[in-house]
Amino acid sequence: MPPRPPRRPWFFLALALLFMALAVLGFSRSFLVPLASGDFTRGTRVVVHGVLLFAWFSLLLAQAALAATRRMAWHRRLGWVGAALVVPIFLSGVHVSAVVAAPAGGGPIGAGQLSVLAGATFTFALFLVLATAAVLVRRAPQAHKRLLVFATLLLLGAAVARIPWLAAYAEWVDLGVLGLVIAHDLVRLRRLHLATLLAGGAFLFDAYAVPPLKRTPEAQALARQLLVAMDLVPPG
């Protein structure tokens, strides 16, 4: 009997489609429609950040489709485009978060704003770590695609929060995706993949441990130092 061909990764294509749908739904009114109509007024830095994010979501979808249809030569070529997006997404995400947190007119900055910036900075740093790890283990496809799933899930929080009928269930969206990956591992692999354990654990840390940590004086002090370094607030 000839060897059975490897299963095509339709599961990860479905996840990429879900991520793109959530991104479009979340940012259509605040970014996509105003940008297309020429009414977007939030500045060039936000446009750059938004374009980078949608380039990432689009590339993830294209890469999943290429892998599912076994067009691996193109998949490998486009992979380097995705790798080139990782650091710019991290830098633009932190920069836009800092600009949003900084008080207008150089006024005092509140603890709430510092906490939001601290949390956003950690989330984008974790995206940087997981996405970089995905690039480094690209020759191990099972680990590679799981790392990319959780790296991308970190970017979806802002989109889900902007979907009126879904924002209240954002936590369940995150846990649902995590549960789907776990179920997929158990059905297909009969075990949890190490990348699911590590990346999923990192994602849960970001979701449940970072919120209380970002309100600590130490985290707020680091956020303030970031604003000072970017010349968005005066020192002291």
Asked if residues 216 and 115 have their Cβ atoms less than 8 Å apart, the reply is no
Question: Domain-by-domain residue ranges, the chain?
Answer: 10-229
What digits encode the pLDDT tens for the residues 61-120?
999 999 999 899 999 999 999 999 999 999 999 999 999 888 776 667 889 999 999 999
pLDDT of residue 226 exceeding 90, the answer is yes
Would you say the pTM of this structure is higher than 0.75? Answer: yes
3-state secondary structure of 109: coil
- The DSSP annotation for 1-31 comes to -PPPPPPP-HHHHHHHHHHHHHHHHHHIIII
CA distance 207 to 1: 48
Specify the residue for token string 């990348």: 195
What digits encode the pLDDT tens for the residues 117-142?
999 999 999 999 999 999 999 999 99
Residue 147 C-alpha from the chain's centroid: 11
Asked if residues 113 and 76 have their Cβ atoms less than 8 Å apart, the reply is no
pLDDT of residue 8 exceeding 70, the answer is no
Length of the chain: 236
